[in-house]
Chains A and B, each alone.
Chain A
Amino acid sequence: MTNLVRAELRALRTSPTTWSLLLAVAAIGVLGTVAPLIASDAVPAHFVSDRGIQEALHGAAAGVGLVIVVGVVGMAGEWRWGQATQTFITTPVRRRVVGAKLLVHAGLGALFGVVAAAASLATAWGWYRNEGMALPLDRSAVWLTLAGCVLVSMLFGPLGVAIGALVRNVVAAVAGVLVWQIIVEPTLFAASPSVFRWLPGIASFAIRRQPDEHMLGVAPALVVVGGLLAAMIVAGTLAVERRDVTA
């Protein structure tokens, strides 16, 4: 297992995609933070309220969608250039391959989350200062929002791996994930918040403390996302173990 984790890390490290996506996450963290702040016409007192802080640091979460994509590509990509054959010749007990990828992408998710959180925090801090205010770093709203972002990112990396294990076509899986996250869930949630707040993406907003009165509490939201992750891991691993590897 350690060898597999090392090989996965080596593959990620030597892939330019990993680094460009990490840069993209940092850039999204900065832009996603500064743009709403500039656009806001709220009174100064709002910016130092819990809700104002949560809104300001919301940009930290924007890279999370990319973490899923990295996970999907990390697993489904095995079938893209015939790497799957070599991978499973090396490790015929296929759940070990899935397990190593889940671990590595949880770690990568944490890294992406920390980078996004740091970018958002630094940007918000600079903006507040520039506006003659101070970002209240001693308030739990700051740290809980950032910690939620890192946690969601850590869960979404392996979720991407599990999705990639189930849907072996990279393009279909990535397109599906993006459409689901960007269009399907927000539309359903807007239509009926009290029902569709149970959707996994919306639940992840709750973990990230997105300010919205219709959100689930953090605990039920964690159960939703954690439950989905567990179910997808089981289904994805079974699919990889059972399916024939033909090129």
Chain B
Amino acid sequence: MRSQHDDLSIRCVDLTKQFGDHTAVDRLTFSASAGTVTGFVGGNGAGKTTTMRMLLGLISPTSGRALVAGRPYVEHDEPRRVVGASIDGPGAHPARSAIEHLRIIATAAGLPRHGVEPVLDKVGLTASAGRKVGTFSMGMLQRLALAGALLADPPILILDEPVNGLDPAGILWMRGLLSELAGEGRAILVSSHLLAELAEVADRIVVIHEGRLLADDTLTNLLAGRSSSFEELYFELVGGGRAEGVSA
């Protein structure tokens, strides 16, 4: 299955999205390659989620290209086997149980049903598998969304703020999981506002501001010759005071 796609990476080329006359993503070019965790950072409204939606075929780019495994998302026959995504939460009906939600996804995607239990186990939701999603806490919703992403064991992962809502133990667990998944050769693009946490897991960092690329390098290179932390570097890059508002 995987040998079909020799290029197991995520790639944006001159990617642009305009909502009306507002440019949310502006000629963005970067890539995230196999075996690495790429941290995707930028302030509120910087364009991270919009970029990820374009990579997932949910939003059509105004111009430029958004490629996963060398092709636009829509051109993959079985996209869930290529890319796993956690974005907008699990997308489950609140009256449905976690396990039923995943079974419906598995059925639609043509995946074997017996893959559902292991993935619930992997995200630590086995005990809550039969509970209605409407009763889930924020951290449990995050875990369920991640379970959906991992369902088909894809070589590429796109995760929008996956640690948001996780407790300290959960954050630590996610750090281990991301390293493990990247260690298995996956390409992982993960957005987060927790810079210190991201610095712990990310091999590479992509910083955007008002839809534009500010930095794209390994953390080691970015911090080379400096005594500052990643957080300080970030504020230098975006050039803002700490009380800066949402980019319009």
Contacts and interface: CB of A to CB of B under 8 A. Distances in A.
Interface of A: 3-4, 6-7, 10-11, 14-16, 77, 80-93, 244-247
Contacts of B57: 88-89, 92
Nearest to B85: A89
- Mostly, the B contact residues are loop
A4 to B, nearest CB: 6
A105 to B, nearest CB: 16
Nearest to A11: B104
A6 B58 contact: no
Nearest to A4: B108
Interface in B32-55: 53
A245 B60 CA distance: 9
Contacts of B79: 89-90, 92
Given A15-B96, A82-B91, A92-B56, 13 more contacts: A3-B109, A10-B107, A14-B96, A80-B93, A82-B89, A83-B93, A88-B58, A89-B58, A90-B79, A91-B108, A92-B76, A244-B58, A245-B53
18 contacts: A4-B108, A7-B104, A10-B103, A11-B104, A14-B104, A81-B92, A81-B93, A82-B91, A86-B92, A87-B91, A91-B108, A92-B56, A92-B76, A92-B79, A244-B58, A245-B53, A245-B59, A246-B59
Given A90-B80, A90-B108, A81 B94 contact: yes
B123 to A, nearest CB: 16
A168 to B, nearest CB: 14
B60 A6 contact: no
Contacts of B87: 85
Contacts of A244: 53, 58-60
A3 B88 contact: no
B58 A7 contact: no
B53 A15 contact: no
A22 to B, nearest CB: 17
Given A82-B91, A85-B87, A93-B74, A3 B96 contact: no
Contacts of A80: 93
B104 A92 contact: no
B138 to A, nearest CB: 14
Nearest to B106: A7
Contacts of A10: 103-104, 107
A96 B91 CA distance: 19
Contacts of B100: 14
Contact of A86 (B74, B103, B105): B105
Given A89-B85, A93-B74, A246-B53, A6 B107 contact: yes
Contacts of A84: 91
Nearest to B80: A90
B95 A89 contact: no
B59 A7 contact: no
A85 B96 contact: no
